[in-house]
């Protein structure tokens, strides 16, 4: 949790989600203290659990610190920058000479800073001459980008965070905002507290933590959103709620869009049936939307990650255009991005179908403008390969050299086993990364050590078009370098020195800003004219600012205020949206729908959040969430290991029946990977179908099945040192406070576990202080290795999954001396002292466990979240655990009532 800074703080920006919270980092002799920036307009000082724990992710454990090259035997060897840069440049040049510019590609990331992104895009499109540069933002919000371009003529978000506080109705579609954009969620919670009239509607198949504040939850069938919003368009029109003046002066195309909406979703009854929602609940939603003019429809990956993601977003935008509820305080369609710099990447054209500065690849005038500005030898003149197609082309041998920057596609892309196979057969795979052990790095021929958060300098843009500085507060370790530097050095060695003579992120930013303003007489909203001449100190001190910036350092909060959109005729477009179900439907073999997404305390593939012990305690292992009736139907039990399989791949996870998931759906988190678990890459299971307009994959709808994963025993090991556990057919591991936790399962059993356990725990010496217990009847085995009265490691094994509390045992690792009662507890398999087992962590900020919360509720007769906060502090920092606290209060009050 945040503490008071004692030395001068550096203001920077959180590197996780698209909320873009301001952070203050204070470097002391022993640690980096992280606090929220009170003055940043995104968060006003608040940080979520992930942001608060940033200081714990900055150590150099597991870092990639020197360039490395893999030899023919597969071994990696360290080398110097000169050597590695020459090799990368030479190989790219050779492939281009032999096979043309489209035989090479970059796959980059919304984690890059705008300046890194700008340089990568410039090299590929202006100097190599291909548009084969795509990004993991393709998986995140490219459908929203395509929808904005279809509706407004440009990728512009017409809403600000402030509007959430001015709204009368907020509709959250396909967004578990409470977990995925926690600070935006907290702003909504606060807005509702301040204005109890504010209504919240959640449209989501799952009953997520976000529903905690919902006045109405519409659990629609996955993939039916277009019907829902076509129905709304039709309903609004039928009830004469259209804004005739706005439509005639500022839009085109209503007739066709309305015809399609009425033909596909003309009645509440038919929409309710198709979407699988209660007709009266649907009517209530439509009535709420009709009644409130200040309405924001906030949408996220549940909308975007779909084979009709662009249509879903346009169906939402159509409703706002019909009612004229856009570009005014408290209203509009609000795409909230997943990644910290997804929007910055869009600004520089970091997607395969864009140019730069919001210009179009297909537009000859734009191409000419950019090429002249860059003084580049060539300019890409056709779209490149989007993410999924790019890896297919690598697999087919058409793309022969790829440079992957700051992303882990072997985990995150759909059909990820094929992605891995593609990289394994690619002639050259270069990876720039911060950490050493990732699934993608294992496929690399060349590894380039990139600077991490805190070590690099530049800008990012958040979901509300706000550019913020990321500032360096730590030195570059060993040979790590900023991404823009690495790209520039390769470009120079490829013979493009004149376009890449940059000495700082500021110089790149100024060029980027100048390009945005070049010959821009209002045609493109994205314009940083007022930032083109920043001095070094002005850049250093740049305050968060929303684009467009037309006068020096003066941003623009509201866009399209006068209804002049980015098309040549300045009119927005209604887009006819014809609904269809996802391509791959459930069937007898795969009767469930696999939905994927994020959890509260992890980020992407855990390369950073996995290092913070307190973030690993809320959900410590991969899971699959399933409706309890489906669990009964398919013969699996909560707490057991199960195998989840689809046509594309399979994985193993612990079964959970949270009650959040509807019948015939399962939910699996995206985070786990080969570094943390033996078999939990959900990307390997996801079908590679994409949206035809955006190329965004259908990450939330793959037919799947679930079956028991039979093991002879399950167990866990807690150890101060990392260890490899032989005989485990499944494992997952997490970093704890002073220990590593391994969950394991196996099929080979022993009549005597002792030799195995002694070897595993390093206690083969008969004089070792070794506690052990074996029950021949139940075949339960426990052992602990104690060194100098401190627990060094322990192992627990049982044929059943009901093993002792890891939280209680974890607490023993922070003790300098075990008591006799602790030793007795290890043998008994439970805490002897009352209150010693805090239970599973609920509040990560203050490390408060479920048992502690339940005990306090019972003992002190607590009945509100506020009382719990006063007593235990839980829920009083980031607030992300408040829905869970409320659930525990409800559960216990229900038990009492019974």
Residues within the interface to ligand SF4 (CB under 6 A): 14, 16-17, 19-21, 43, 47-48, 50-51, 181-183
Terminal-to-terminal C-alpha distance of the chain: 38
Closest distance between ligand SF4 and the C-beta of residue 504, in Å?
Answer: 25
For the four alpha carbons of 404, 410, 411 and 413, in that order, the dihedral sign comes to positive
C-beta closer to ligand SF4: residue 336 or 642: 336
Closest distance between ligand SF4 and the C-beta of residue 35, in Å?
Answer: 11
The two structure tokens encoding residue 308? 């009709």
Closest distance between ligand SF4 and the C-beta of residue 162, in Å?
Answer: 16
* Contact assessment for residue 121 and residue 130, using Cβ atoms and an 8 Å cutoff: no
C-beta closer to ligand SF4: residue 19 or 342: 19
C-beta closer to ligand SF4: residue 46 or 758: 46
C-beta closer to ligand SF4: residue 22 or 683: 22
C-beta closer to ligand SF4: residue 43 or 137: 43
Closest distance between ligand SF4 and the C-beta of residue 238, in Å?
Answer: 39
Closest distance between ligand SF4 and the C-beta of residue 55, in Å?
Answer: 13
Closest distance between ligand SF4 and the C-beta of residue 110, in Å?
Answer: 12
d(CA 469, CA 546): 12
d(CA 717, CA 156): 51
What is the three-class DSSP state of 156? Answer: coil
Nearest to 718 by CA among 734, 739, 733, 732: 739
C-beta closer to ligand SF4: residue 136 or 251: 136
* Contact assessment for residue 178 and residue 185, using Cβ atoms and an 8 Å cutoff: yes
Closest distance between ligand SF4 and the C-beta of residue 42, in Å?
Answer: 7
Closest distance between ligand SF4 and the C-beta of residue 512, in Å?
Answer: 22
C-beta closer to ligand SF4: residue 149 or 608: 608
C-beta closer to ligand SF4: residue 22 or 223: 22
CB closest to ligand SF4, residue no:
51
C-beta closer to ligand SF4: residue 467 or 494: 467
Going by C-beta distance under 8 Å and a sequence separation of 6 or more, which residues neighbour residue 271? Answer: 227, 228, 230, 231, 265, 282
DSSP letters, 426-476, are -SEEEEEESBS--TTGGG-SEEEEB--TTT--EEEE-TTSEEEEE---SPP
- 289 burial via Cβ count (<10 Å: 0-12, 13-18, 19+): buried
Closest distance between ligand SF4 and the C-beta of residue 603, in Å?
Answer: 7
* Contact assessment for residue 95 and residue 427, using Cβ atoms and an 8 Å cutoff: yes
Which residues in 23-44 are b (16+ Cβ under 10 Å) and which e?
bbbbbeeeebbbbbbeebbbbb
d(CA 532, CA 373): 14
Closest distance between ligand SF4 and the C-beta of residue 803, in Å?
Answer: 32
* Contact assessment for residue 744 and residue 679, using Cβ atoms and an 8 Å cutoff: no
* Contact assessment for residue 162 and residue 463, using Cβ atoms and an 8 Å cutoff: no
Closest distance between ligand SF4 and the C-beta of residue 182, in Å?
Answer: 5
C-beta closer to ligand SF4: residue 19 or 321: 19
C-beta closer to ligand SF4: residue 16 or 676: 16
d(CA 387, CA 410): 12
Beta bridge partners of 772: 783
């Amino acid at each position: 949790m945040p503490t008071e800074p004692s030395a001068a703080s550096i203001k920077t920006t959180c590197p996780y989600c698209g909320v873009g919270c301001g952070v203050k980092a204070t470097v002391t002799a022993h640690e980096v203290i992280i606090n929220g920036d009170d003055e940043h307009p995104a968060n006003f000082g608040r940080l979520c659990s992930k942001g608060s724990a940033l200081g714990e992710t900055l150590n150099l454990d597991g870092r990639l610190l020197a360039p490395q090259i893999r030899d023919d035997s597969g071994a990696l060897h360290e080398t110097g920058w000169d050597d590695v840069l020459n090799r990368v440049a030479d190989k790219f040049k050779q492939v281009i000479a032999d096979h043309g510019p489209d035989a090479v590609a970059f796959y980059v990331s919304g984690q890059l800073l705008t300046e890194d992104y700008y340089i990568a895009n410039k090299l590929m499109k202006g100097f190599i001459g291909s548009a084969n540069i795509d990004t993991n933002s393709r998986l995140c919000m490219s459908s929203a980008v395509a929808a904005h371009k279809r509706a407004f003529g440009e990728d512009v978000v017409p809403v600000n965070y402030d509007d959430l506080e001015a709204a009368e109705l907020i509709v959250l579609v396909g967004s578990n905002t409470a977990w995925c954009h926690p600070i935006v969620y907290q702003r909504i919670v606060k807005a509702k507290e301040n204005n109890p009239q504010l209504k919240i509607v959640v449209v989501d198949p799952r009953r997520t933590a976000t529903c905690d504040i919902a006045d109405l939850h519409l659990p629609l069938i996955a993939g039916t959103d277009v019907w829902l919003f076509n129905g709304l368009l039709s309903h609004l029109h039928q009830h004469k709620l259209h804004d005739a003046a706005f439509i005639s002066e500022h839009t085109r195309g209503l007739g066709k869009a309305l015809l399609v909406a009425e033909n596909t979703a003309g009645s509440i009854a038919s929409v309710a049936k198709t979407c699988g929602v209660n007709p009266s609940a649907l009517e209530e939603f439509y009535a709420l939307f009709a009644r409130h003019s200040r309405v924001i429809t906030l949408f996220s990956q549940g909308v975007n990650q779909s084979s009709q993601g662009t249509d879903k977003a346009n169906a939402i935008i159509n409703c706002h255009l019909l009612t004229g509820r856009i570009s005014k305080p408290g209203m509009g369609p609000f795409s909230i991005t997943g990644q910290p710099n997804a929007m910055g990447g869009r600004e520089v054209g970091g997607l395969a179908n864009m140019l730069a500065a919001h210009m179009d690849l297909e537009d000859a005038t734009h191409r000419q403008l950019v090429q002249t500005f860059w003084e580049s030898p060539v300019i890409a003149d056709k779209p490149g390969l989007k993410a999924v197609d790019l890896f297919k082309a690598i697999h087919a041998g058409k793309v022969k050299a790829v440079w992957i920057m700051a992303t882990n596609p072997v985990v995150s892309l759909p059909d990820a086993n094929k992605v891995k196979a593609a990289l394994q057969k690619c002639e050259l795979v270069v990876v720039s990364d911060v950490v050493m052990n990732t699934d993608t790095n294992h496929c690399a021929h060349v590894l380039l050590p990139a600077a991490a958060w805190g070590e690099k300098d530049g800008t990012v843009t958040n979901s509300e078009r706000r550019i913020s500085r990321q500032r360096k507060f730590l030195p570059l370790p060993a040979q790590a370098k900023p991404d823009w530097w690495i790209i520039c050095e390769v470009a120079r060695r490829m013979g493009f020195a004149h376009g890449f003579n940059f000495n700082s992120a500021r110089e790149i930013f100024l060029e980027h800003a100048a390009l945005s303003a070049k010959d821009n007489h209002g045609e493109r909203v994205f314009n940083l004219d007022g930032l083109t001449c920043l001095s070094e100190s002005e850049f250093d001190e740049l305050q968060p600012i929303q684009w467009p910036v037309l006068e020096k350092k003066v941003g623009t909060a509201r866009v399209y205020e006068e209804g002049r959109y980015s098309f040549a005729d300045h009119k927005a477009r209604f887009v006819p949206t014809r609904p269809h179900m996802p391509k791959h439907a459930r069937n007898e073999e795969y009767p469930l729908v696999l939905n994927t997404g994020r959890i509260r305390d992890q980020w992407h593939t855990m390369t950073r959040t996995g290092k913070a012990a307190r973030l690993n305690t809320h959900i410590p292992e991969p899971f699959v969430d399933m409706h309890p009736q489906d669990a009964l139907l398919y013969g699996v039990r909560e707490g057991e290991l199960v195998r989840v399989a689809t046509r594309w791949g399979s994985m193993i996870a612990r079964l959970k029946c949270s009650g959040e998931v509807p019948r015939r759906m399962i939910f699996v988190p995206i985070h786990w990977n080969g570094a943390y678990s033996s078999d939990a890459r959900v990307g390997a299971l996801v079908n590679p179908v994409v949206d035809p307009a955006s190329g965004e994959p259908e990450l939330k709808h793959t037919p799947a099945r679930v079956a028991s994963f039979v093991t002879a025993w399950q167990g866990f090991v807690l150890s101060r040192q990392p260890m490899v556990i032989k005989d485990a057919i499944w494992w997952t591991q997490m970093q704890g406070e002073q220990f590593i936790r391994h969950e394991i399962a196996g099929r080979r059993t022993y009549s005597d576990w002792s030799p195995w356990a002694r070897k595993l725990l390093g206690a083969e010496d008969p004089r070792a202080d070794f506690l052990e217990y074996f029950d021949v009847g139940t075949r339960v085995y426990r052992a602990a290795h104690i060194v100098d009265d401190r627990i060094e490691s322990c192992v627990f094994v049982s044929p059943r999954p009901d093993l002792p509390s890891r939280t209680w045992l974890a607490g023993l690792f922070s003790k300098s001396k075990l008591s006799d009662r602790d030793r007795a507890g290890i043998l008994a398999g439970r805490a002897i002292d009352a209150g010693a087992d805090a239970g599973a962590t609920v509040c990560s900020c203050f490390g408060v466990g479920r048992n502690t919360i339940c005990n306090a509720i019972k003992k002190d007769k607590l009945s509100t979240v506020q009382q719990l906060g006063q007593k235990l502090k839980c829920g009083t920092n980031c607030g992300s655990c408040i829905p869970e606290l409320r659930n525990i209060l409800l559960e216990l009050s229900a038990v009492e009532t019974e």
